[in-house]
Amino acid sequence: MQGLMMDRALTIHSILDYAERNHGQREIVSVTADNPCHRYTYSDAFARTKQLANALSSLGARMGDRIGTLAWNDHRHFEIYYASSCNGMVCHTINPRLFEQQLIYIINHAEDKVLFTDPAFIPLLEQLATKLDELPILVVLSDKANMPKSGSLKLICYETLLEGESPQIDWPDFGEDTAAALCYTSGTTGNPKGVLFSHRSTLLHAYAVALPDVFNLSTRDSVLPVVPMFHACAWGIPYAAPLVGAKLVFPGPKMADGATLHNLMESEQVTLALGVPTVWLALLDYLRINDLKLTTLNRTVVGGAACPSSIMDEFRETFGVTTHHAWGMTELSPLGTLNSPNSEWSELNTEQRAQQRLKQGRGICGINLKIVDENNNELPWDGVAFGALKVRGPWVCSDYFKLESESSAHHADGWFDTGDVASIDEQGFLKIVDRSKDLIKSGGEWISSVELENIAMTHPGVQEAAVIGIADEKWTERPLLVVVPKNGADVDTSDLLMHFDGKIAKWSIPEKALLVAELPHTATGKISKMQLRQQVKSG
């Protein structure tokens, strides 16, 4: 028997309609290249969104066309998200930090019809232009007064494009499975792969992340996504914030600037900020050096890479801010799990609670998790057994966009193989042991690089740490610790290695450590172990 409920498509328009009607006066504040503090409301934003949607049609963009963005987090990028998707087009966010070859591949593969770019990326586009199969129509995210010049490219000014366009629109009618956004993930081998989010998956993900035990979002929040809008749609914040009417604060090109982040947090009364661990290391450093406080921030969400306990401890003890560890992947829109305490935690002692906090958290309702051994047999949720992590759910990608060859991550059994290795405890808390290719096999035993890094980060002189496996004749592989010392700290390698004593099994403690001025990072701000391995190999 069928239910008797209205068949209304789950599309992104519903977020726009809701926020416009119910939270029209909530603010969106942005730092942009042409304005250090742009301020307007959801009403203003969505009126301009409709002007932009009309402008896209005037430029000749049609349903299904990819609309590229090379842009930081700001209000114009937000407008493009909605104008393209609600118009039946696909918002294709591009990570400007990728290598030139990857950018060329991605833009060619996506066949972007229009490309919106921040002024700062014009020199990059001038370099890429001749190598692209077809040059998209280029629109610069700027006002007229600050338009950059280009000798070789024809550039349209964003604000001029909007002028004269109507803020009225009849959105086209389409189904909830229509593609809404596209984001490429850059694996360590092969070409980047496109994850194509639908309206349905985006809306369901937005509802899910707003839940109390996930981002716990409400209209009383002021949210600062430091995670870029080109990194898995800033973890869904541009959709989830208007879905509850939360204020949005965008740091623009100043993502990595401690002073800007602190100023925004204080002046805009930010309550929630989200980002990868590297960003928080930089901010905490800045706060420490300048003896500053955070008066309104009450929680951060840290994900994209394992969050060291040192970040959680400093946020909590010095600033009274709770850190929630989250795990996800672009392929999961991106959120899969988030760590928030359950009632059983009240029975844990301080050390047990600290261990539990470090885990990546429980699966969100809608996402199924399982861990399997090498024969695909499911392993128990006992907090001890670990194996390949597989997931499925309505916001998990079922295939990659226009992939030339079959993806081994999608198997016939309907589960997506994440490439991560994990354990899950009796209460459902996931612990990422490692990326499968980063696990170290030594004397037949597995060593988790993540666990060693966590311990290294508790040393008072360590700013950042990475552990990689290096070939060893006797043991196959041994862990090598690579450390960036804190500014001015007098760190010595034997002291660093002694720091592991008593904290982990003796055989898994590294024998060697290197001190370096900096570690290589990926385009999304994570430590690049692939590059680090190459650097160590080449001495």
Active site residues per annotation? 185, 331, 441, 446
Instruction: Please tell me whether residue 513 binds ligand AMP under the rule CB under 6 A.
Output: no
- State the greatest distance between any 2 C-alpha atoms of the chain, in Å, as a whole number: 73
For ligand AMP, the closer of residues 10 and 306 by Cβ is 306
Q: Kindly write down the DSSP assignment for every residue of 25-70, as one continuous string.
A: T-EEEEEETTEEEEEEEHHHHHHHHHHHHHHHHHTT--TT-EEEEE
How far apart CA 70 and CA 230 sit, in angstroms, is: 8
Distance between CA atoms of 457 and 527, rounded to whole angstroms? 14
Instruction: Identify which of residues 98 and 329 has a Cβ nearer to ligand AMP in the complex.
Output: 329
Which of 327, 386, 401, 415 is close enough to bind ligand AMP by CB under 6 A? 327
**Nearest residue (CB) to ligand AMP, 140 versus 233:** 233
Among 222, 330, 449, 508, the residue binding ligand AMP under the rule CB under 6 A is: 330
Q: Evaluate whether 192 touches 106 at the Cβ level (below 8 Å).
A: yes
Binding mask 193-232 for ligand AMP (x = CB under 6 A): ---------------------------------------x
The answer to whether the beta carbons of residues 179 and 63 sit under 8 Å apart is no
Cα–Cα distance for residue pair 361/107, rounded to 1 Å:
35
CB of 144 to ligand AMP, least distance (A): 36
Between CA 338 and CA 210 the distance in angstroms is 12
Query: Dihedral of CA 37/89/94/324: which sign?
Result: positive
**If binding is defined by CB under 6 A, does position 468 make contact with ligand AMP?**
no
Q: Work out whether 456 is an interface residue with ligand AMP (CB under 6 A).
A: no
- Which stretch, 21-29, 70-78, 93-101, 321-329, contacts ligand AMP (CB under 6 A)? 321-329
Which of 28, 67, 208, 305 contacts ligand AMP by CB under 6 A?
305
Nearer to ligand AMP, 236 or 304 (CB): 304
In 3D, which of 422, 435, 227, 434 has the Cα closest to residue 335?
A: 227
Is 238 a binder of ligand AMP (CB under 6 A)?
A: no
> Cα–Cα distances in Å, from 470 out to 321, 448, 479?
38, 14, 6
φ and ψ at residue 348, rounded to 5 degrees: -90, 150
CB of residue 431 to ligand AMP, shortest distance in Å: 9
Residue of the chain from 136, 303, 363, 525 that contacts ligand AMP (CB under 6 A): 303
When CB distances to ligand AMP are compared, the closest residue is 330
How many chain residues are in contact with ligand AMP, going by CB under 6 A? 20
304 binds ligand AMP (CB under 6 A): yes
Q: C-beta of 116: minimal distance to ligand AMP in Å?
A: 22
User: What HEC string does 225-276 produce?
Assistant: ECCCCCCHHHHCHHHHHHHHCCEEEECECCCCCHHHHHHHHHHCCCCEEEEC
Q: Six-digit token pair at 314?
A: 């400093």
Three-state SS at 495: helix
Residues 398-437 that bind ligand AMP (CB under 6 A): 418-420, 432, 435
Q: Does 334 bind ligand AMP (CB under 6 A)?
A: yes
The answer to whether 485 contacts ligand AMP (rule: CB under 6 A) is no
By CB under 6 A, tell whether 192 contacts ligand AMP.
no
Is 472 buried (19+), middle (13-18) or exposed (0-12) by CB count in 10 A? middle
Residues in contact with ligand AMP by CB under 6 A are 185, 232, 303-306, 325-330, 334, 360, 418-420, 432, 435, 524
